[in-house]
Structure 1
Amino acid sequence: MLASVFLMQPIGQALAQIVGVWVLLGEDAAHGLHDKQCGIDMLHHEECKTIIDGTWRIVIGSGAVPALLAIIFRFFLYDCGLYTLEVKNKPGNAFRDTQRVYGAPPATSGTAASPAAAGHPYETEAVPRQFSRQNLRAFFVEDKNWYYLAGTSITWFFLDVSFYGFSLDNRSTLAGLWATTDRAPIGPDLPCWNSTLDGGTSLVPSWVTAGLPTWQSDPTRPCNTIYETIIDQTKQYLLAVSLASIAGSACFILFANRIRRREWLTSSFITLTVLFLVTGGVYYAVAHRSGAPATVVLVAICHFMFNFGANTLTFIIPAEIFPTSYRCLCHGISAAAGKLGSIVAVLVVYGIRAGYDSPTRQGLVFLLFATFMALGAVASWAYLPDVQRPVPDGRGRTRLETRTLEELGEGYRRACLEGQVIGLRNKWEDLWGRVSGRSRTKRMRMGMRMRMRIGRSEGTRSGAARGEGVEVEEEEEDRREDMGTVMPVMVEDNRTVHPVEMDGRGIA
């Protein structure tokens, strides 16, 4: 479902292009826009300004229609029961919201009445107020769920640095990828140097001193009118960006439950790193030559991979791994990190353009932003948990099953108890342990320590709720760990690990 929601992004971008062309074609049919040679001739200059000004206003205004529909649909949606219960802390409303979604259970004589119906108030366990300093510290620091937030924020940040670093919303950059010749010199040899309209005056000679106008995004075709330029821009964007992005999102929907999403996020970052390097090298080799379409093909493949992997998954995973009470907050922080990445991308590209005056500088952009893709791969590998687990399908094979939101909402602690390793340092130690053959034992000991900490933490919080002090025998626990103890039963790699006696070195 989340992947289907994300598919609307490239579809919306494509529709925006199509709406713009549709309005432009309508203006052309009504006013003969193409024949007026808008932008390169003075004869119909004022009329062209009025038509083009009205065109972009219609396109921008049409964007309000989907927003209005979304607002209307929102009035027919109810908050889920868990959100009402855990965030709004309204158990009665949560019960009603759940019934609205799933329907009321059939009434039977043996069904017990709800506390509210029986006249008894709901009783809830005393817990810290949501978003209070105590609550935030418990969730992010004591339970170490900051690992998850760091993972989702860093990956989204690095993704958007590279995604917006492509600069394909800048139409001059996009036109440069398609260009098969060098920049055309402005001079009398151009066919538009003199006006072809009766009584007209060409604007092209003024460009010798003033430079190309801002709307002219393709310096290899200076005789294109505003109408022709917009049509070309739309074709280029749809072919190089929109179609590939839509195809990538559609393919992800088909494979979302057939691939390990966390591992695929890391793999897609690595794949994009390689693609960026290849695209940058190819661009240097074929820029402004007959082989330029090769770069366009590689750029389209990059956008396919963006939406088939990292771009979609950085949106989905933050919505899966956080509990209901913190899901919106953490998803919002992660998205904000992505927008910060887009700002960094703009600044980096601006710096390259200001300090590196070369017709092939876009190749440097591709090569530079490959570094950020590699960093995204490291962050996703180190800080994000598995959101799926293999289960037998009854035919001697296994299939992937998505963990429930309740399981994932238990956060870092649950992941450690299941044998997952979270954190860059922990991942590195685990990787080294795999090489030396001690990784499995280390993960088991980490799981045991986590169980001890959970017990201490829950005891401390329970005692605090009763107003009592709870003494924790730290030295005794350390002594038992050093001298040898019985490893509790735990789950590792979807297999039950039975109790084993550990000696002082941590070896069975």
Structure 2
Amino acid sequence: MLLFRWFHFKVVLVAGVGFFTDAYDLFAISIASIMIGLVYGVYLGIKVAAPAGTLVGQLLFGWLADIVGRKRMYGIELMLMIVATFGQAVSGGSLSVNVIGVLIVWRFVMGLGIGGDYPLSAVITSEFASTRTRGRLMTAVFAAQGWGTFAGPLIGWVVVTAFRRHSVHGDNFIKAEVDAIWRLIIGLGCVPAAIALYFRLTIPETPRFTMDIEHNVKQAQDDMRHAFHDRISSDHSEVEFTRIQAPSFGLRDFIAYFSRWKNLKVLIATSYSWFALDIAFYGLGLNNGLILTKLIPSSSSIGDYLSRICIGNLLISLPLIPGSYVCFFFIDSWGRKPIQLMGFTVLSIIFLIMGAAYVKLTGGAGTPFIVLYCVANFFQNFGPNTTTFIVPGEAFPTRYRSTAHGISAACGKLGAIIAQVAFSYLTYQGANDAESSAGPKRLGTVLIAFAFVMLTGVLSTLLLTETMQKPLELLSHDDGFISKDDVRVGERECDVISEPFPRPTLDRHGMDNRQPASRPGPIQRAAQNRPRLP
């Protein structure tokens, strides 16, 4: 039996290309900022702007996707990313406007688009997946982040190498050449986003949103037939569709739902876990170039120096890829919670070792430090970096799924912003000292602090509910919010039936409902297949 149908591969490809672009645009700045610093000087705002925009985008697009639908918002965030990425590549200054100020504005706008991609891609993938393979499908989408992070330094190395070979100045680049290099690296991020745009604009609305929120079962069936190129059949010649007056998105219902501890604790757990993870993931990831600057031997030319920075970033980011695919194979057998607990625990130990023995580990070529850094990146993706993306897309009801995912992800970006500011001032004793020969004197202390934060992530993970192999309807904890009296067929009250569609059809199309009939979920209440007896 195939794990995924062709439409599932399409979802992975379309959503994955977006995540590839997200990671490329976010983490390419680790290299580009070195080049920008050589030309214009070092500015903290360049690194903080994108995470700040991402935070706003996650909250805004997460909320809008629950109000107007996933399909209507999917693609808009990609347009923002394309325009803003191109804007960065052609950023210029004037007598009254600094080029850095323009660049910061464009990176904030790009962050808005990137932020929208998180809840939309997660929720769309989750709502199209079957219970049996939902974890793997979402992991496959998120794995594209590792490829995007790896592609940044790879493209950087290719561009730098090309300039080294064809520059009339050889390895001794002039400022104009360095300026052109970072613009090319950033600007190429438009290409994958443009490729995916058409497919995002034409993807159908998820069946769960159409039935749970819009209460349009017929449209959901039509969308499924179109998406999967086959017929969603029924054993009956006539089908009566049941509709419900389920709670819609609203502040009062939102407060009522999350005022219950069993619901609130899940949101707290997903939000804080992501917050803790991103403090280290972005705190280090966006500063790879600066960390490597202190480990790479001095070079006689700018070209050689930039080439070594790119190669070092390649080595550090490479373990993210196998980490994602190891997680892919275990996510639906081990479970989300055990993998997240393991990841946070291992990262706590690794960061503690890296921080406590920083001076010894970075002696000479710094090989032991680089090796530990690579191991940490492996367990980032075979651990909380993947699971913090998956769980919020599963653990909440359809009407708040995107909003809750956006809140969780935004907490992560808040951690990223705090990490950038703290990393800059603790490591370099202020942004103005970033170029000083003293270097990151306090990096060991920062790593120890990261170890402590990872340990708090272990504690927040304990609040999570395991979501593996559980239908979204059971995980939503909707009991008590939709009563039997809300379920009607035409003008007649009816009993709830355990399955709206035949089980084989549901399992194929990602809508299986394996919960007992005594605990029906929104999809079961929203559509009933009932034969009309003669």
TM-score interval, normalised by the smaller of the two chains: 0.5 to 0.7
- 1:461–1:339 distance in 2 versus 1, CA, 3 Å: farther
- Aligned mates of 1:29, 1:354 — CA distance in 2: 34
Q: 1:64 aligns with which of 184, 190, 193?
A: 190
Unpaired runs of 5+ residues, structure 2, are: 1-136, 431-437, 488-515, 517-534
- Aligned mates of 2:419, 2:206 — CA distance in 1: 37
**What code does the residue aligned with 1:350 have?**
S
- Secondary structure at 1:75 match in 2: helix
| CA shift for structure 1 position 461 | 8.4
| CA shift for structure 1 position 125 | 2.6
Which residue number in structure 2 is paired with residue 126 of structure 1?
Answer: 245
**What code does the residue aligned with 1:50 have?**
A
Query: Are the counterparts in 2 of residues 282 and 294 from structure 1 also a CA contact under 8 Å?
Result: no
Q: Please state if 1:283 is matched with 2:363.
A: no
- 1:330–1:347 distance in 2 versus 1, CA, 3 Å: same
Which residue number in structure 2 is paired with residue 368 of structure 1?
Answer: 449
- Aligned mates of 2:233, 2:284 — CA distance in 1: 59
- 1:281–1:142 distance in 2 versus 1, CA, 3 Å: closer
| CA shift for structure 1 position 167 | 5.3
- Secondary structure at 2:394 match in 1: helix
- Aligned mates of 1:353, 1:150 — CA distance in 2: 30
- 1:167–1:64 distance in 2 versus 1, CA, 3 Å: closer
Which residue number in structure 1 is paired with residue 63 of structure 2?
Answer: none
Which residue number in structure 2 is paired with residue 172 of structure 1?
Answer: 290
Provide Cα deviations, 1:410-450, integer angstroms capped at 9, x if missing partner.
36x7xxxxxxxxxxxxxxxxxxxxxxxxxxxxxxxxxxxxx
Provide Cα deviations, 1:264-293, integer angstroms capped at 9, x if missing partner.
211211111111111112213333x23721
Query: Are the counterparts in 1 of residues 153 and 310 from structure 2 also a CA contact under 8 Å?
Result: yes
Which residue number in structure 1 is paired with residue 272 of structure 2?
Answer: 154
Which residue number in structure 2 is paired with residue 271 of structure 1?
Answer: 346
Q: Please state if 1:408 is matched with 2:527.
A: no
- 1:92–1:135 distance in 2 versus 1, CA, 3 Å: farther
Structure with higher helix content: 2
Q: 1:238 aligns with which of 314, 321, 331?
A: 314
Provide Cα deviations, 1:343-382, integer angstroms capped at 9, x if missing partner.
111222233136597754211111111111011110011x
- Aligned mates of 1:103, 1:60 — CA distance in 2: 39
Provide Cα deviations, 1:169-226, integer angstroms capped at 9, x if missing partner.
35222232x35xxxxxxxxxxxxxxxxxxxxxxxxxxxxxxxxxxxxxxxx51x4322
- Aligned mates of 2:155, 2:251 — CA distance in 1: 49
- Aligned mates of 2:482, 2:204 — CA distance in 1: 33
- Secondary structure at 1:385 match in 2: coil
Which residue number in structure 2 is paired with residue 251 of structure 1?
Answer: 326
**What code does the residue aligned with 2:475 have?**
L
Which residue number in structure 2 is paired with residue 387 of structure 1?
Answer: 467
Q: Please state if 1:322 is matched with 2:447.
A: no
| CA shift for structure 1 position 238 | 0.9
Q: 1:52-451 residue pairs with structure 2 within 5 A?
A: 52-103=178-229, 105=231, 111-114=236-239, 124-128=243-247, 130-142=248-260, 144-166=262-284, 169-176=287-294, 178-179=295-296, 220-221=297-298, 223-239=299-315, 241-287=316-362, 289-290=363-364, 292-353=366-427, 360-381=441-462, 383-388=463-468, 402-410=469-477
- Aligned mates of 2:232, 2:483 — CA distance in 1: 40
Provide Cα deviations, 1:30-70, integer angstroms capped at 9, x if missing partner.
334535x22xxxxxxxxx33333222222222111111112
- Secondary structure at 2:269 match in 1: helix
Which residue number in structure 2 is paired with residue 12 of structure 1?
Answer: 148
Which residue number in structure 2 is paired with residue 478 of structure 1?
Answer: none
Query: Are the counterparts in 2 of residues 166 and 366 from structure 1 also a CA contact under 8 Å?
Result: no
Bigger CA drift: 315-324 or 167-176? 167-176
Which residue number in structure 2 is paired with residue 484 of structure 1?
Answer: none
Query: Are the counterparts in 2 of residues 284 and 360 from structure 1 also a CA contact under 8 Å?
Result: no
Query: Are the counterparts in 2 of residues 168 and 174 from structure 1 also a CA contact under 8 Å?
Result: no
- Secondary structure at 1:406 match in 2: helix
Runs of 4 or more above 6 Å deviation = 457-463
| CA shift for structure 1 position 72 | 1.4
Query: Are the counterparts in 2 of residues 166 and 365 from structure 1 also a CA contact under 8 Å?
Result: no
- Secondary structure at 2:204 match in 1: coil
- Secondary structure at 1:131 match in 2: coil
**What code does the residue aligned with 1:259 have?**
W
- 1:22–1:265 distance in 2 versus 1, CA, 3 Å: same
Higher relative contact order (CA 8 A, sep 6+): 2
**What code does the residue aligned with 1:386 have?**
E
- 1:358–1:234 distance in 2 versus 1, CA, 3 Å: closer
Which residue number in structure 2 is paired with residue 45 of structure 1?
Answer: none
- Aligned mates of 2:353, 2:205 — CA distance in 1: 47
- Aligned mates of 2:148, 2:411 — CA distance in 1: 23
- 1:123–1:30 distance in 2 versus 1, CA, 3 Å: same
**What code does the residue aligned with 1:140 have?**
F
**What code does the residue aligned with 1:250 have?**
Y
Which residue number in structure 2 is paired with residue 470 of structure 1?
Answer: none
Which residue number in structure 1 is paired with residue 160 of structure 2?
Answer: 24
Query: Are the counterparts in 2 of residues 158 and 338 from structure 1 also a CA contact under 8 Å?
Result: yes
- 1:333–1:380 distance in 2 versus 1, CA, 3 Å: same
Which residue number in structure 2 is paired with residue 391 of structure 1?
Answer: none
- 1:88–1:16 distance in 2 versus 1, CA, 3 Å: farther
Bigger CA drift: 132-141 or 311-320? 132-141
- Aligned mates of 1:149, 1:65 — CA distance in 2: 35
- Secondary structure at 1:78 match in 2: coil
- Secondary structure at 1:92 match in 2: helix
- 1:235–1:315 distance in 2 versus 1, CA, 3 Å: same
Query: Are the counterparts in 1 of residues 139 and 390 from structure 2 also a CA contact under 8 Å?
Result: yes
Query: Are the counterparts in 2 of residues 175 and 236 from structure 1 also a CA contact under 8 Å?
Result: no
- Aligned mates of 1:106, 1:157 — CA distance in 2: 42
- Secondary structure at 1:321 match in 2: coil
Query: Are the counterparts in 2 of residues 27 and 33 from structure 1 also a CA contact under 8 Å?
Result: no
Structure with higher Rg: it is 1
- Aligned mates of 1:460, 1:133 — CA distance in 2: 23
Query: Are the counterparts in 1 of residues 354 and 361 from structure 2 also a CA contact under 8 Å?
Result: no
- 1:58–1:291 distance in 2 versus 1, CA, 3 Å: closer
TM-score normalised over the length of structure 2: 0.59
TM-score normalised over the length of structure 1: 0.62
**What code does the residue aligned with 1:124 have?**
R
- Aligned mates of 1:258, 1:106 — CA distance in 2: 29
- 1:88–1:373 distance in 2 versus 1, CA, 3 Å: same
| CA shift for structure 1 position 127 | 3.1
Percent of residue pairs identical: 29
**What code does the residue aligned with 2:314 have?**
L
- Secondary structure at 2:319 match in 1: helix
- Aligned mates of 1:407, 1:154 — CA distance in 2: 23
**What code does the residue aligned with 1:323 have?**
P
